[in-house]
Amino acid sequence: MIIDTTEVQAINSFSTSESIKEIYGFIWMFVSIFTLIFGIIIGVLVIVWLEREISATIQQRIGPEYAGPLGILQALADGTKLLFKEDLFPSRGDIRLFSVGPSIAVISILLSYLVIPFGYRLVLGDLSIGVFLWITISSIAPIGLLMSGYGSNNKYSFSGGLRAAAQSISYEIPLTLCVLSISLLSNSSSTVDIVEAQSKYGFWGWNLWRQPIGFIVFLISSLAECERLPFDLPEAEEELVAGYQTEYSGIKFGLFYIASYLNLLLSSLFVTVLYLGGWNFSIPYISIPELFGINKMAGVFGITVGIFITLAKAYLFLFIPITTRWTLPRIRMDQLLNLGWKFLLPISLGNLLLTTSSQLVSL
């Protein structure tokens, strides 16, 4: 048998190039994930600083000002303090559930960031079911809170965990129906396709104008999902002594607050993607992205401006939940459940039926 050396060399070079591509792919994947996590951490620190400054302004008092310039390092100082505090365990609690609960709450929310597009094709996972993957993964977080409350062996903690689970179930359904209406309008469940569908019509094509009822329901449901006032029943200090967090200390206690702010930032980003046009910034009759070529990833400038527009919209929206915290009083548990089941659910169903009918008529 005669062996052709040129064929052997070609096969070896092909296998070598494939190996190099695989190694490059793994390195690029880890770099992308690290960049996303680092950006999320910075974003959470900014939210904490913004909330303290806005809260101080609303209450006419001085906010953080000593830890770093304008107090921007105060959240970092608080996190470092919690990191070095003693980690206590309840003597008669379930230690495994007690330890795993906070981690589940944080990890489930972090995974949802995989489908957030920060620019044109600038997303870790452009999945065809992106928005519903977010809803599915974020539904796991209340399980972590319930595990934490049950594992604490404390009636106040357990009541807080049960409230978190009941609240999540009540408001997850209207939120999902609003997302389904957006998917029908966009003919896709991909987050990237939803943004691109809005960019076709410029400023007036934002789903905020096409789905005003769905936007209001989504806003209220997202506040309840993030357990923000007036929906912070699982952590009601006057009734439950901080709820499922009662027995926690140190970094585990800090993980609950990290999960809360991660969820708040995630909800703001999804409002930006679903209703505010994502990375597109258009004013009536003028499309800014088309002028600068942002939609087609026009180099580093296009990527940078797209990320800036997405984050600017998200942080401007954050003023609503922050100011709501210091404006509205906490509602009762029966009022919370009645609002979800008897008011928001029928409205979101009606909105879905109207959207479906309009799509059928347009066909």
The 10s digit of each residue's pLDDT in 70-84 is 888 888 888 888 888
pTM, rounded to two decimals: 0.87
- Of 17-31, 140-154, 240-254, 272-286, least confident by mean pLDDT is 17-31
Q: How confident is the prediction for the chain on average, in pLDDT?
A: 83
C-alpha atoms less than 13 angstroms from C-alpha of 74 in its C-beta half-sphere:
16
Q: What is the C-alpha separation between 90 and 178, in angstroms, rounded?
A: 41
Other Cβ atoms less than 10 A from the Cβ of 285: the count is: 8
Answer whether 110's CB lies under 8 Å from 37's CB: yes
Identify the band that residue 299 occupies on the pLDDT scale cut at 50, 70 and 90. low
| pLDDT tens-place string over residues 68-119 | 888 888 888 888 888 888 888 888 888 888 889 898 989 988 888 988 988 7
Residue 346, pLDDT score: 94
Pair 151, 98: CB distance under 8 Å: yes
Confidence of residue 159 (pLDDT cuts 50, 70, 90): confident
- Considering only CA atoms, which of 114, 136, 112 is closest in space to residue 125? 114
In SS3 terms, 46-102 reads as HHHHHHHHHHHHHCCCCCCCCCCHHHCCHHHHHHHHHHCCCCCCCCCCCHHHHHHHH
Which neighbouring-strand residues pair with 286?
A: 283
- Which of 45-59, 289-303, 337-351 is the least confident region? 289-303
pLDDT of residue 284: 56
With a cut of 80, say whether residue 291 has pLDDT above it. no
Whose tokens are 């070529």? That residue is 293
Q: Token digits for 254?
A: 């800090």
User: Cα angle vertex 257, ends 138, 263, to 5°?
Assistant: 30
**Measured distance CA(174)–CA(341) in Å, rounded:** 9
Amino acid at 143: I
Q: Is 296 helix (H, G, I), strand (E, B) or coil?
A: helix
Distance separating alpha carbons of residues 47 and 264, to the nearest angstrom:
9
Backbone angles phi, psi at 287, to 5 degrees: -100, 105
Amino acid of residue 110: L
Tokens of residue 235, six digits: 């952590």
pLDDT (0 to 100) of residue 271: 93
DSSP state of 189: -
Q: Spell out a b/e string for 171-207, using b for 16 or more CB atoms within 10 Å of the CB, else e.
A: bbbbbbbbbbbbbbbbebbbbbbbbbbbbeebbebbb
Residue 287, classed as helix, strand or coil, is strand
- Classify 353 as helix, strand or coil: helix
Q: How far apart are CA 78 and CA 88, in angstroms?
A: 18
